[in-house]
Amino acid sequence: MKLHTTLTSPYGRIARIVRLERGLADRIALESVQTRGVDNPYYAVNPSGRVPSLILDDGTILEDSTLVCWFMDHLDGDPVLHPPQGMAGLEHRRIEATARSMLDGVSLWSREFLYREAEIRSATIMAHEQARALRLADVFEKEVLGKVLSGPLNMAQITLACVFHGRMNDRPPGFRWQDGRPNLCAWVERMGGYASIVETLPPPRN
């Protein structure tokens, strides 16, 4: 099996962390790819062009970090990172969904800087995403004290770690997430104690 991702994608990082945590590095090869562009060879691997994607031995393409991680965690029939079935898993799923919502917003906001020149950036989108990100940073300042985010490593923690771990304060500009949020800062530092989180740190962008 082969996991395709860029080394900068936070969604790909979620999948890379799960691959390491589940001891699958020998069974699932990691293929670093580039996304976007015309005639990108990756489109022949995964027509959507998105990462991460996991190509199974029979050629089946699994895309979307949620599905890829679910598959990898359930591969041995004994998942450890996912919530239990039914209502017992609701709290975990609730926090994971909010973390993912935050990741989606911050990713959209960051893309304004990554892919658009200053003069064509959308002030409307950036202001909307900045406000969302700051509201949700306040939510997580409290949530990190709860059971789901302070217990053993799980999908909610991995998702939230991929929002914050390695992110400098004021990145993107205006996202001063460290200011006045000591619990969140301490939590992110604690997540840096996991080898899988440190090993998957995105390389600096030029």
Ligand X SMILES: N[C@@H](CCC(=O)N[C@@H](CS)C(=O)NCC(=O)O)C(=O)O
Site of interaction with ligand X (CB under 6 A): 9, 11, 35-36, 49-52, 64-66, 107
Residue whose CB is less far from ligand X, 26 or 39: 39
User: Can you list the pairs that 187-196 forms with residues at least 24 positions away whose Cβ atoms lie under 8 Å?
Assistant: 187/140, 187/144, 187/149, 187/150, 188/161, 188/164, 191/157, 191/161, 191/164, 191/165, 192/165, 194/17, 194/21, 194/153, 194/161, 195/20, 196/16, 196/17, 196/20, 196/21
Nearest-CA neighbor of 21 among 175, 153, 147? 153
Residue whose CB is less far from ligand X, 159 or 196: 159
Rounded to the nearest whole angstrom, what is the least distance from the CB of residue 107 to ligand X in the complex? 6
Written as one letter, the residue type at 198 is V
Rounded to the nearest whole angstrom, what is the least distance from the CB of residue 64 to ligand X in the complex? 4
Residue in this structure with the two tokens 């993107």, named with its chain if needed: 172
Non-local CB neighbours of 68 within 8 Å, separated by 6+ positions: 3, 15, 18, 52, 53, 54, 62
Residue whose CB is less far from ligand X, 115 or 135: 115
Residue whose CB is less far from ligand X, 35 or 101: 35
CA distance 127 to 106: 11
Residue whose CB is less far from ligand X, 86 or 204: 204
Rounded to the nearest whole angstrom, what is the least distance from the CB of residue 18 to ligand X in the complex? 12
Rounded to the nearest whole angstrom, what is the least distance from the CB of residue 183 to ligand X in the complex? 26
